[in-house]
Structure 1
Amino acid sequence: MKFFITFADKLMTELRVMKKDYDRAKYTGIKVVDEGIRIMSDIARNQSAVEFFQTVSRKQEDLLDFAEDYEPIKAFFAGEQKGIFDKALLYLEKYDDSKTYIVDVELESVVDAIRTIVKKDKPFTDIPKLPELLKQFTDAYTKVLDEQLVPVLDSLSESQKRVFEVLNTKAYKESKRNRYIELLREITNGANGCTNVSVLRGYADRAETLKIRLLNELDADTIVNIEF
């Protein structure tokens, strides 16, 4: 009895530590973990031998069911599966953040397959399928990203062209050229290195905003020079 209760206390601690992971991500098996904590708590609180053995006898089927359900969950958190699962959740988050801008049958099909696995109550036998699906996701998403990059770079190029058309008409153009080049280059480099479709779309807006700011600056400088 003493050994059993000591083990129950130890397992409860293990389950409560594990439960903290569920606060960070939508892992499978939270009901099993909660059930394990409840069962172990019921057993550990027994003070007399009679109460103890009656409780264990009454909960025998629950204990056996818990042991069967908990084994793959424990293996999930202790091994490589959790890392793969985390990566799948990260990829789904990236897709969901950008899906408004994405129309791609291949990518949508891969996302559906990944989502089906991570939403299962017991996905453990399907987790080995995720690495290949994640590779397919990366390939398809990169293709979409490359396609979305083209109009963004075109917009950046047009903004740059307009700014320097105006700048080149100014007598003080050389004093501002390098700073303007650096500001526009920063946005272009950011767009080229972007790995998120939603964020990428924002670079065109940033370029437009910068263009307006620089043109307003040039207009203001012109007025100052005229008044001077």
Structure 2
Amino acid sequence: MASWGREIYQPAFTQQLGLLALPESQFPDVLQHLSHLPKRYARLYIQLNDQTPLLPPLSFTSQTRITYHLPLHPEYATLRAGYAADYRRRLRQNNELPAPLTVSQSSSVEEMLALFKQYSGKAAGLKSRHYQQLQALYTVLQQHNQALPLEVRAFETGELLAAALFVRFRTRLVYLFAVASPAGKKAAAPLLLLDSVIQRHAGTDLVLDFEGGMIESIARFFANFGATPVPYAALSFTQRPWYLQWIR
């Protein structure tokens, strides 16, 4: 019998995760592990990673979600040639300015988070605890040399126009978190951030995972860098208490 009220849900700032088990787990594979979860939990929602192709047990609902990947092994000139023509034009226009906007590495994520709270936090539904979690995550990533926070500032005022946190892990470069002010969007600062990280890592064995693509406008933004859609599964179930299971 399931323990009513116990739930499994996707942690914040993890687009893809999967199942975690101890080495001594009694379940030898993911599918068998999944089949036992409805006995222990009332609800579940998890997003598996794109390396876990499977057909879930019948008690689960499966949804296909999309992220975008861009392999970075070609040289930068080749990668840039794959951008949409408008993106290449806007990059040229920025370079032709008397004081072009530039991308630099951030010393912290505090100002990035403050900018997100100001312009996007309410719509995203993030609470104070979520910002604390991201700050704690950034601290750990820094300790392991896996964090790459980048920013674009206005030349004259130093105003933060856009910022992003990338995470390097094994063969992935993950576009984990990003924000831009209205002025930053107008100046194409998000485009500059992504172009910079692509240029920095061109010719490596990394794959840039944009961690998104379910919203049409965002998917189009990623695709315009030459990235291609990659599917992964989201699994869920909701159990009724035994005293409601007779209802159809």
Task: Please state which band the TM-score falls in when normalised by the shorter chain.
Answer: under 0.3
Q: In proportion to residue count, which structure has more strand?
A: 2
Give the structure with higher Rg (CA).
1
Identify the structure with bigger relative contact order (alpha carbons < 8 Å, sequence gap 6+): 2
Report the TM-score when normalising by structure 2.
Answer: 0.18
- TM-score with structure 1 length normalisation? 0.20
Higher helix fraction (1 or 2): 1
